[in-house]
Structures are given as structure tokens and as C-alpha cells.
Amino acid sequence: MGTDQEKAQAVISEFLQRIEKGVGGWTDETGLWGEGLGLDSLEAAELSAMLEDEFGSDPFSAGGELPETVGNVIAFYATVST
């Protein structure tokens, strides 16, 4: 089904539907926190778990700085797969 980045985008879309956020639309530039999607730590942990289930790793658990935008999350899988 497409590249890892496309799969990551699908996981994020499914996650946002489940938590009923981002209903007004989102792009790679949309922030994960605050004025963006406004994820709290529990929601971020849920997304982290969904991504880990799909890929075996996720940008929230990889160490270093947390991703700030949707694009940062998707880009993590570009880095991993290349």
C-alpha cells in the first residue's frame, strides 16, 4: 500500500478521526501541539503507540526532540526507510 510516508499519513488520519481532532483539515505544516492539533500527552502517547504498531518505531519514542508538526512525524519515516 504505498510508501512508509503514505502509511504514516494514513495512521495519522485514522488517529485524528478517533480522537475527533483536525476535523477542519490539516497539512504537513499543522502543529501537533497548542494552536495546531492541540494534542495532549495522552493523545500523543496514543499516536506513538499506533505508529509503533505499524512500523515498529515512532518519532516520539526515538529519543531527541519531539516532533512539532505532522510533517516532522511523516519525515521520520522517510529518514528511517532511506
Partner 1 sequence: MIHLLEAAAASSPDQEAVVTSESSATYGELLDGSRRVATALRRRGITRFAVVEPDAGLVLRLLAGAALAGAEPCQYQPDTDGTEFVDHASVLDHKFVVTRRDDLSGAFDFIHPDELTAESGDNTVVPEDDSAQPLLIRTTGTTGQPKAARHDWRVLGKTVANVRPKPDHRWLLAYGPQQFAGIQVLLHVVASRATLVAPFPRQPKNGLEALLTQRVNCVSATPTFWRFLLAEARSRKTTFPPLEQITLGGEASPADLLEEIRAIFGDAKVSQVYASTEFGSITSVSDCKPGIAVDSLYSESNPASNVRVDDGELWVRAGAGMLGYVGESSRAESAGASEPVGSAGGEWRRTGDLVEIVGDRVMFRGRKSEVINVGGVKVHPLPVEDRITGLESVAMARVFGRPSKLTGAIVAVEIVPVGGIAGAHIEGIRSEVKAAVADLPRAWHPRSVTFVDTIETRGGKTIRGMQD
Contacts by residues 28-37 (CB-CB < 8 Å, ≥ 24 positions apart) = 28/69, 28/70, 28/71, 28/74, 29/69, 29/70, 29/71, 30/69, 30/70, 31/68, 31/69, 32/66, 32/67, 32/68, 32/69, 32/70, 32/72, 32/73, 33/68, 36/69, 37/70
Rounded to a whole number of angstroms, the minimum distance from the CB of residue 44 to partner 1 is 5
Is residue 60 near partner 1 by the rule CB under 8 A? yes
Q: Which of 53, 68, 78, 81 binds partner 1 (CB under 8 A)?
A: 53
Q: Which of 3, 10, 38, 61 binds partner 1 (CB under 8 A)?
A: 61
Is residue 54 near partner 1 by the rule CB under 8 A? no
Is residue 48 near partner 1 by the rule CB under 8 A? yes
Which residues are at the interface with partner 1 (CB under 8 A)?
18, 41-42, 44-46, 48-50, 53, 60-61
